[in-house]
Chain A
């Protein structure tokens, strides 16, 4: 590679210097603006957080559930995209506590989010990751979880049990 050097016999006039200064600033400004108008919509799309609506999702008929039993149910996320496949499901632990009363617990442990399991014989929720244990009412029994299990609002609507599909609880 050979270095080409501009011939500069006479020192540039102040007019030329001013012109060069202007052209430098113009070029940098155009480059920056060009980069910005491409980047801003791209970043805005990336950061465009979709706020999901909260929807009541049916998980079964009232008579499908026995009073006192805690069972896992699944329902569709409120913001499901057609290509989400099985990941559009959310599981919950549902317990019928009375004729028309239901409680729905999130399956995510409040420690780091692993899925807790219901030990029916022991009336406890246990997390397989770090051994967090919750009592049947969701309060912490032992281990690392800082908070009781999150609950989803649950209701009975026209004979159907419904859960209010809500965001993954971040504790």
Chain B
């Protein structure tokens, strides 16, 4: 021990490290009392980022960022004991980082810590939120399975909706006219070098600002923020009631951060990494790309808004939300910080969380997606094995009706449930609908022979909530 101490003293004399770091670690922070545990979310986000850095470097040693090879290197990584765990940690770590940065933003918003003098803290936080989402998107894509491939196409198509620069941007995303050798390298460089470099720089600035402006004190309704007096009040609060950050406040960050790491690693070991889909081969047409859970709500909203508004929402939605986040600390830079005096902040937070959860769940079910893997209807649904009704059930499947219409637990959700079509519609009404189509249903006029139509009508007319005894139908 004595030797270690002497070695440290020698190094410290030459470097001045303790004089540099000591005051930073022990800088005074306000006692946070009952809300102290709300202050751990920022550091937990940083811990999650560090998890990503460590596991990301490990993965990069086994990953080959080539459009042709990446998939097989991922198969290799996932096949090794530790590669499987590391991929799992990186995947759950990404989810943890998205969740924690979201919760941290909500905490700061509800406590209005973005008000004077911490506006730039908030702005750098918004930048970090955007960078985190970019990491999440590019990371999912580096899995470079079928979903990764189609994510690039969909990203390029969405970018293509932008006025003026759309085509150019789409071309830039694809790194050419088509997906090819250059595409994946581009996303790899972005995910591994470009965006992380920005994150390191902005995190450093964000932390510097936390030190410069001091960590915000828990809001009190009796002390609204007045930019003219705030700093003096804050310093007198520290002098009166401050405690050193290390270890008086930092121990909570360490406890919570440790729990985050434990959870992420535990989930990675128990559940493992996300499964790889089919290889990124566009000639495998059997593909149904879906985004990761953190983008499902956005995917759902884009899917259910009216068609005419799509271009506006794709472009203006994120822009508008970004602008709102950026101007927030300037239009509300002073006054009350307590959420009890800012009921709108609670309403908006609940609204956003509800929207993400609700539309995330909707996006998970994706009722607008045809179920193109729906099997032919079994006998227990059809009721007979031969005759017009059985033939009609086959038409119902073969013509794709079943992909969008539910039938006794089988089929899709996009169109109306036809399990009891015989109770609700007569043959003429069904025929009209089949021939004229609708906004989301093709017209089958010309795509169906008279026999097919008759069989289909017989099948649909036989669908009743309460079985009707019609022995003639099966043998007609």
Contact = CB atoms under 8 A, between A and B. Distances in A.
Interface in B107-150: 149-150
B157 A113 contact: yes
Contacts of B408: none
B69 A83 contact: yes
B370 interface: yes
12 contacts: A74-B283, A79-B178, A87-B281, A88-B181, A113-B150, A113-B154, A126-B400, A128-B288, A141-B442, A142-B439, A168-B177, A170-B167
A130 B303 contact: yes
Contacts of A128: 287-288, 369-370, 372
B368 A130 contact: yes
A149 interface: no
B67 interface: yes
Contacts of B182: 50, 81
Interface residues of A, number: 54
Contact of B177 (A51, A85, A122): A51
Contacts of B174: 168
A133 B438 CA distance: 11
Nearest to A136: B447
Contacts of B283: 72, 74, 86, 89-91
B181 A81 contact: yes
A74 B440 CA distance: 30
Interface string A111-123: 1111101010111
A41 interface: no
Contacts of B179: 87, 168
Interface string B248-292: 000000000000000000000000000000011111011111000
A147 to B, nearest CB: 12
A83 B438 contact: no
B440 A115 contact: no
B166 interface: yes
B282 A107 contact: yes
B160 A170 contact: yes
Contacts of B66: 83, 85
A131 B178 CA distance: 24
B180 A77 contact: yes
A127 B372 CA distance: 9
Nearest to A73: B283
Main secondary structure of the interface of A (DSSP, over half): loop
**Which bracket fits the contact residues of B?**
35 or more
A130 B157 CA distance: 15
Given A52-B176, A112-B157, A168-B153, A131 B181 contact: no
Given A49-B175, A128-B370, 9 more contacts: A49-B172, A79-B177, A87-B179, A87-B282, A108-B153, A121-B399, A142-B441, A143-B440, A170-B160
A91 B180 CA distance: 14
A81 to B, nearest CB: 3
Contact of B150 (A49, A111, A114, A171): A114
Contacts of A114: 150, 153-154, 287-289
A117 B400 CA distance: 11
B407 interface: no
A131 B414 contact: yes
Per CB-CB distance, the 3 closest pairs between chain A and chain B, nearest first, are A85-B68, A81-B181, A141-B442
B398 interface: yes
Contacts of A108: 153, 157
Contact of B176 (A49, A131, A141, A143): A49
A126 B447 CA distance: 14
A124 B442 contact: yes
Interface in B1-40: 16, 19-20
A127 B404 CA distance: 11
Contact of B281 (A78, A86, A121, A141): A86
Contacts of A84: 67-68, 180-181
Interface in B281-336: 281-283, 285-289, 303, 307, 310
B280 A86 contact: yes
Contact of A87 (B154, B280, B303, B444): B280
B178 to A, nearest CB: 5
A168 to B, nearest CB: 5
B158 interface: yes
B307 A112 contact: no
Contacts of A80: 180-181
Interface in B157-176: 157-158, 160, 166-168, 170-172, 174-176
A112 B176 CA distance: 18
A49 to B, nearest CB: 5
B25 to A, nearest CB: 16
B154 A112 contact: yes
B233 interface: no
Contacts of A129: 288-289, 369
B369 to A, nearest CB: 6
Interface string A147-171: 0000000000000000000111011
A81 B150 contact: no
A171 B180 contact: no
Contacts of A52: 176-178
Nearest to A110: B157
Most buried by B among A78, A115, A119, A126: A115
A135 B441 CA distance: 11
